[in-house]
A and B are shown apart, each in its own frame.
Chain A
Amino acid sequence: MSAYSVTEPSTRSKWFAGSLVILYALITMIPLAWIMLTGFKSPSDAISYPPKVVFEPTLEGYVNLFTTRTRQTQEFLDANPPQNWADEIVREYDMVIVGPSKFGERFLNSVIIGFGSTFLSVFLGTLAAYAFSRFKIPLADDLLFFILSTRMMPPIAVAIPIFLMYRNLGLSDTHLGMILLYTAVNISLAVWLLKGFIDEIPREYEEAALIDGYTRFQAFYKVVLPQAATGIASTAIFCLIFAWNEYAFAVLLTSATAQTAPPFIPTIIGVGGLDWPAVAAGATIFLLPVMIFTILLRKHLLRGITFGAVRK
């Protein structure tokens, strides 16, 4: 029998834990993989039954996602040979590309609104969290509870009042309106998360900076902010994920100018109904920014989830 250790797990339990993690990862990755694969299928492959796992890949979905097309007569098609590979793909359906689709614009809206509200939430959240953490604020606990209580009901429950307010204020279908809305929803999370992080930064660092001849604000941004980087990064991820994926308010409040990608993607219409490969392609591209952002900040993320509970 091998030596027994209280701290080191046995080989068998390591294998077991490992395979459990892999199994879980596979299960959660299947829908994701399916979306990515569907993006490269032809419309008929996408809806075939039984579902096709092996298929001939095509960029049709991506072409349809990014372009607007019209059906043309055979004479027109013969007179105008295809100008590039994308054109060639749509010719199969007797169509020509007449311009870009709205996807680029919607995607840009998502970027502006998502990152804008994330920046604003984290910026305001950091200042508020610092104030709650360091200064004697009258009724601080009640204020913190109030801030948290804004998350106690689903935001969509107040959709109608917000819709009416936004219409009266002229914030409907504006970037600013959506940024403010997502910031309002995210700010409580940001304040609470960041307060936890800033509470853990010893005051002595700021006091040392004060003694070293810096002002309170200099001490804050030169000493506290770098220390809180982990907390700020993980808070930013959480805020971005929410703002990026938000669907209900986007459907309700945006249309022509400020519409984000989530309400746009499912409305991509192809020949004879929804163009599933184009929808899947849109979803795939839509995933990328958050994925990249998360990968860039992932070393901070674990600490963020554990709420700074592990700090040496």
Chain B
Amino acid sequence: MAEIVIKNVRKEFGDFVAVRESSFTIEDGEFFMLLGPSGCGKTTTLRMIAGLELPTSGEIYLDGEEIGQRPPSERDIAFVFQMFALYPHMNVYKNLSYPLVSQGMPRAQVRAKVDEVATILGIKDILKKPVGGLSGGDRQRVALGRAIVREPKAFMMDEPLGALDAEFREHMAEELRALHDRMGATTVYVTHDQLEAMQMGDKIVVMNNAVVEQFGKPQDIYDMPATMFVADFIGSPSMNFLNFHGKVAKGEELVTLADQTMSVPTLREGASGDLVFGVRPEHIRLSDDGDYRGKVLATEYLGTTQIITLDTPNGEVKARIASDQPATVGETVGLGFNAKTVTLFDKSTGRALRSELNEGVLAHG
């Protein structure tokens, strides 16, 4: 069981910088998500932890020991590949026993260990089968089994559910999380699916363009995004950005949007120029008497809620409201924002302005 510390890690492939100086800490036993769009450097980061790529600079600590430049065999880290990478010329049993054989474990012990893991994963009945004919779920289980069989210090998973169909994914995600909770081993999990990250992770690192944008608990990241990218990437529909031009000062609690005064969490820093008023769709109320008004452009019915698209003086806004609340296309309604949930961004840097809401989260971001 292990704590993993990533310190100023950078990776270059020739002229291309895959990961820029990144730092974060994965605590012992955490289910840790590396989240970001494709090409953001999350998989490279994972591969560097596992030793499949060596960092160009920076350090990686596993249980306080610097392992950045060591070969994977000396790291005691398991890896679950996106396409599973089961050895196709071996049957399930051989696949599972392969990591143990490399350690020179006696045969009887290997047998017992494989048996135990197969029981945990419910794949005892397919041990003799070749891996070629297995279903996606069984392949996934064998891949997991091969990872957990030698009880490594940590697990790396590269979009392990990516190859499964949607229906089965959900089920496997639960199984995976349950397995993690049972083993209590540190797990680092790469995904581009923000829902998967929120659903399974204890903590999330959001990466974009080779940079760590934010790192923290799923709820903190959702409620208090550190950058506009995070705000946009997480949540569906994503956070509304109301653009305005103005000046805010430290300690202020009000901003002016299209001549309307809105209250925001008390600011801890000031800014001026192009600013953005960020609010999640579910934090918008529609009321007839609001002074800030918008015209309903479209409604999307989603069962318990509906998404209303509105045209406001500061751009298009999506609001998530209860589906029994009437909203007609073409009518003009008043919008109310929940002041406690608003995040202001400086558009030129894309960063959130510190306020009483998010200062605790941004401090270690």
Residue from A207, A213, A215, A227 within 8 A of B81 (CB atoms): A207
Known: A207-B79, A208-B81. A213 touches B102 (CB 8 A): yes
A202 proximity list for chain B (CB < 8 A): 83, 85
Beta-carbon nearest neighbor of A226 in chain B = B89
In the complex, A153 Cα to B268 Cα: how many Å? 77
Known: A205-B87, A223-B87, A227-B88. A211 touches B79 (CB 8 A): yes
Asked whether B77 is an interface residue with its Cβ less than 8 Å from the other chain, the reply is yes
Residue from B52, B73, B81, B86 within 8 A of A214 (CB atoms): B73
Beta-carbon nearest neighbor of B52 in chain A = A207
**Residue with the highest number of chain A CB atoms closer than 10 Å, among B51, B77, B78, B88:** B88
Q: CB distance A208 to B87 under 8 Å?
A: yes
B50 proximity list for chain A (CB < 8 A): 211
In the complex, A74 Cα to B32 Cα: how many Å? 100
**Closest CB-CB distance, A55 to chain B, in whole Å?**
52
In the complex, A223 Cα to B295 Cα: how many Å? 63
Asked whether B103 is an interface residue with its Cβ less than 8 Å from the other chain, the reply is yes
Asked whether A210 is an interface residue with its Cβ less than 8 Å from the other chain, the reply is yes
**Closest CB-CB distance, A211 to chain B, in whole Å?**
4
Asked whether B153 is an interface residue with its Cβ less than 8 Å from the other chain, the reply is no
B85 proximity list for chain A (CB < 8 A): 202, 204-205, 207-208
In the complex, A223 Cα to B87 Cα: how many Å? 7
Asked whether B39 is an interface residue with its Cβ less than 8 Å from the other chain, the reply is no
Q: Which of A212-233 contact B (CB under 8 A)?
A: 212-215, 218, 223, 226-227
B334 proximity list for chain A (CB < 8 A): none
Task: Report the interface size for chain A: residues with CB under 8 A from the other chain.
Answer: 16
In the complex, A210 Cα to B71 Cα: how many Å? 8
Residue from B71, B77, B79, B150 within 8 A of A208 (CB atoms): B79
**Closest CB-CB distance, A205 to chain B, in whole Å?**
5
B99 proximity list for chain A (CB < 8 A): 211-213
Residue from A204, A211, A223, A226 within 8 A of B83 (CB atoms): A204
In the complex, A209 Cα to B79 Cα: how many Å? 10
**Residue with the highest number of chain A CB atoms closer than 10 Å, among B85, B98, B102, B150:** B85
In the complex, A218 Cα to B103 Cα: how many Å? 13
Asked whether B347 is an interface residue with its Cβ less than 8 Å from the other chain, the reply is no
Asked whether B68 is an interface residue with its Cβ less than 8 Å from the other chain, the reply is no
* 0/1 string, B65-81, CB within 8 A of A gives 1: 00000011100011101
In the complex, A212 Cα to B78 Cα: how many Å? 7
In the complex, A207 Cα to B78 Cα: how many Å? 11
Asked whether B139 is an interface residue with its Cβ less than 8 Å from the other chain, the reply is no
Task: Report the interface size for chain B: residues with CB under 8 A from the other chain.
Answer: 23
Name B's interface SS.
loop
Q: CB distance B78 to A211 under 8 Å?
A: yes
B89 proximity list for chain A (CB < 8 A): 226-227
Asked whether B146 is an interface residue with its Cβ less than 8 Å from the other chain, the reply is yes
In the complex, A205 Cα to B83 Cα: how many Å? 10
In the complex, A205 Cα to B87 Cα: how many Å? 6
Residue from A205, A211, A218, A226 within 8 A of B72 (CB atoms): A211
**Closest CB-CB distance, A210 to chain B, in whole Å?**
5
Q: CB distance A204 to B81 under 8 Å?
A: yes
B71 proximity list for chain A (CB < 8 A): 210, 215
In the complex, A208 Cα to B50 Cα: how many Å? 11
In the complex, A209 Cα to B102 Cα: how many Å? 9
In the complex, A210 Cα to B85 Cα: how many Å? 12
Q: CB distance A212 to B52 under 8 Å?
A: no
**Closest CB-CB distance, A285 to chain B, in whole Å?**
36
B73 proximity list for chain A (CB < 8 A): 210-211, 213-215
Q: CB distance A214 to B87 under 8 Å?
A: no
**Closest CB-CB distance, A138 to chain B, in whole Å?**
12
Q: Which of B22-72 contact A (CB under 8 A)?
A: 50-52, 71-72
Q: Which of B254-277 contact A (CB under 8 A)?
A: none
Q: Which of A9-23 contact B (CB under 8 A)?
A: none
Q: Which of B90-111 contact A (CB under 8 A)?
A: 98-99, 102-103
In the complex, A202 Cα to B88 Cα: how many Å? 11
In the complex, A207 Cα to B52 Cα: how many Å? 7
**Closest CB-CB distance, B183 to chain A, in whole Å?**
17
Beta-carbon nearest neighbor of A201 in chain B = B88
B72 proximity list for chain A (CB < 8 A): 207, 210-211
Q: CB distance B98 to A212 under 8 Å?
A: yes
**Closest CB-CB distance, A300 to chain B, in whole Å?**
14
A215 proximity list for chain B (CB < 8 A): 71, 73
**Residue with the highest number of chain B CB atoms closer than 10 Å, among A209, A212, A218:** A212
In the complex, A211 Cα to B71 Cα: how many Å? 9
Q: CB distance A211 to B102 under 8 Å?
A: no
**Closest CB-CB distance, A96 to chain B, in whole Å?**
58
Q: Which 10 A-B pairs have the closest CB atoms?
A: A204-B85, A213-B102, A212-B99, A208-B85, A226-B89, A211-B79, A213-B73, A210-B72, A204-B81, A211-B72
A residues sitting closer than 8 Å to B (CB atoms) are 202, 204-205, 207-215, 218, 223, 226-227
9 A–B contacts from the bound complex (CB under 8 Å): A202-B83, A207-B79, A210-B51, A212-B99, A212-B102, A213-B99, A214-B73, A226-B89, A227-B88
Known: A208-B81, A227-B88. 15 other contacts (CB 8 A): A207-B72, A207-B79, A207-B81, A207-B85, A208-B86, A208-B146, A210-B51, A210-B52, A210-B73, A211-B50, A211-B99, A212-B99, A212-B150, A214-B102, A215-B71
